[in-house]
């Protein structure tokens, strides 16, 4: 398969402009169109919908795009291993991460990273709703959980520790739970579609948060909003230390059931598909995040 045609396809998919993508590769518009048409004939599908006004990816094109990116990455990595190509680390990194974590810890570092690696560009997908890494064509993702997906590999950025917390005003109004059994009499905040997590104290783990069959009055899918609602006295929530350590230190949030922790094997991981070659651009970004965030974690409490 013509990897230069694949490179043209990926650039055209990113810009939705075939002529502009061709110019970046030194191709005249007619030549770029002909090369893409030849690729479409080879794969047996129309990769783009074309009209006089605009170009858009077809369903088949969207499905083919992550595989085209992978083939290009493998070619670049192979040539680099043989000493070919530029010694400067360059390219675009497509990175998916929790918006809450990224706002606190990643975004403030991006200026320094881009200054350190002027040949690299970043395309960020920031949402507390988990992105599909392979299907979305992402190079790297930050995940805050116990890795169970066998199609992913990664490096640990930092340990995670989750605790229950509430505002002093809420506890004054509704009382402080003394045991996990008391939680059913409180307003509990829960993350959307989250499974109950084990609450442990020493070797005992017979409780969960939220309690079994408990219906939370406030459910959301954004960690920052969950933190703000807890600060406003909406109820008790489960939060990661990285998210609420400042509030715990200044007293605007108080740990609930401090002898108990959420035990679900979670950690903060930088993950990528097993099938992907770990390119130089991704490797330096991983190393940078671990250097700046994870050694030791910025949220020690």
CATH of region 162-263? 3.40.190.290
Higher pLDDT, 298 or 81: 298
Higher pLDDT, 107 or 273: 107
Do the domains at 3-81 and 162-263 have one common CATH topology?
no
The ranges assigned to domains in the chain are: 3-81, 91-160+266-293, 162-263
Over residues 117-161, the pLDDT tens digits come to 998 999 998 887 766 665 567 889 998 866 555 566 788 888 888
Query: Quick check: 235 and 218 in contact, CB under 8 A?
Result: yes
Q: Name the fold adopted by 3-81.
A: Arc Repressor Mutant, subunit A (1.10.10)
**Average pLDDT over the chain, rounded to an integer:** 85
pLDDT band at 257 (very low <50, low <70, confident <90, very high): very high
CATH of region 91-160+266-293? 3.40.190.10
pLDDT of residue 277: 65
Average pLDDT over residues 72-78: 75
Q: Please check the confidence at residue 85 and state whether its pLDDT lies above 60.
A: no
Claim: this prediction has a pTM higher than 0.85 = no
């Amino acid at each position: 398969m013509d990897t230069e045609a694949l490179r043209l396809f990926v650039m055209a998919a990113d810009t939705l402009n075939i002529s502009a993508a061709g110019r970046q590769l030194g191709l005249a518009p007619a030549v770029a169109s002909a090369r893409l048409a030849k690729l479409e004939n080879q794969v047996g599908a129309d990769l783009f919908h074309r009209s006089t006004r605009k170009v858009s990816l077809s369903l088949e094109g969207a499905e083919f795009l992550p595989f085209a990116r992978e083939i290009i990455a493998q070619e670049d990595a192979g040539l680099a291993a043989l000493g070919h190509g530029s010694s400067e680390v360059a390219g675009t990194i497509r990175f998916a991460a929790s918006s809450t974590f990224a706002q606190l810890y990643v975004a403030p570092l991006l200026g320094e990273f881009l200054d350190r690696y002027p040949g690299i560009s970043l395309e960020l997908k920031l949402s507390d709703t988990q992105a599909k890494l392979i299907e979305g064509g992402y190079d790297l993702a930050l995940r805050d959980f116990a890795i169970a997906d066998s199609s992913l590999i990664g490096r640990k950025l930092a340990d995670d520790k989750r605790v229950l917390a509430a505002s002093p005003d809420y506890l004054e109004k509704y009382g402080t739970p003394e045991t996990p059994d008391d939680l059913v009499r409180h307003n509990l905040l829960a993350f959307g579609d989250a499974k109950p997590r084990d609450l442990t104290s020493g070797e005992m783990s017979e409780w969960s948060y939220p309690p079994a069959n408990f219906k939370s009055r406030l459910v959301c899918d954004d960690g920052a909003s969950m933190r703000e609602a807890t600060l406003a006295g909406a109820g008790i929530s489960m939060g990661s230390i990285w998210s609420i350590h400042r509030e715990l230190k200044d007293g605007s949030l108080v740990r609930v059931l401090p002898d108990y922790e959420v035990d679900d094997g979670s950690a903060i991981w930088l993950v990528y598909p097993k099938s992907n070659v770990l390119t130089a651009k991704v490797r330096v970004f991983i190393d940078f995040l671990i250097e700046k965030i994870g050694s030791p974690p910025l949220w020690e409490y």
